[in-house]
A and B are shown apart, each in its own frame.
Chain A
């Protein structure tokens, strides 16, 4: 069965510093996609970044990068130069052709 694990319920980071949010996954399907979403207190889900299981390079989108280690089945999100507006819940998700699973989320708080 597919599984997504986010082991950090909460994280704190100082403004302008980098932070890594952990995500591990488990699947027997060789084809899958990994996603990160941000959910601010207002409730909407905002797509951040995507990594395909066959992608050779780590995905990057502005200040977001995904540290993809396929052998370890990890897909950590790195946020560089944290801003106060980055304070939110962050969800890791995995998609194969038939299913989409989300982790429990990590609440990130950026301190001024």
Chain B
């Protein structure tokens, strides 16, 4: 158990809908990362927050947004969902925001868009 929690574990929704994925980092970790893992695209970095502020942005679509709250938990919002958004979404956390800190991953949320 990495100490990172993600809810829900599974989510099934229809195209065009909006969903929110939630992540709680390990105790003491200030940085949260979101990743998407799909069969065709592999593991892709979406976005990073550090202590409430956006730190780095990867391949995140405009339909997706995220935020980190004062208690350091984070939410990833996915809107106007398409079939291709079906994937495993991971949240990870690290002690700080820089390149030297290993990231600990949550168990993931499996999103299925029908």
| Most chain B beta-carbon neighbours within 10 Å: one of A47, A95, A103 | A95
**What's the Cα separation between A112 and B19 when bound, in Å?**
44
Q: Which residues of chain A come closer than 8 Å to B33, judged between CB atoms? A: 100
- Judge whether A50 and B90 touch: CB under 8 Å: no
Number of interface residues of B (CB under 8 A): 23
A13 to chain B, nearest CB (A): 23
Give the total of A residues in contact with B, Cβ under 8 Å: 25
Neighbour of A45 across the interface among B58, B90, B100, CB < 8 A: B90
A33 touches B100 (CB 8 A): yes
Which 9 residue pairs spanning A and B have beta carbons closest together? A45-B105, A102-B43, A33-B99, A100-B45, A95-B99, A98-B56, A47-B102, A50-B102, A44-B107
11 residue pairs from A and B, CB less than 8 Å apart: A31-B99, A33-B101, A37-B105, A44-B2, A52-B99, A93-B43, A99-B45, A100-B48, A100-B103, A101-B45, A102-B45
Chain B interface (Cβ < 8 Å from any Cβ of A)? 2, 33, 42-45, 48, 56, 58, 88, 90, 92, 98-108
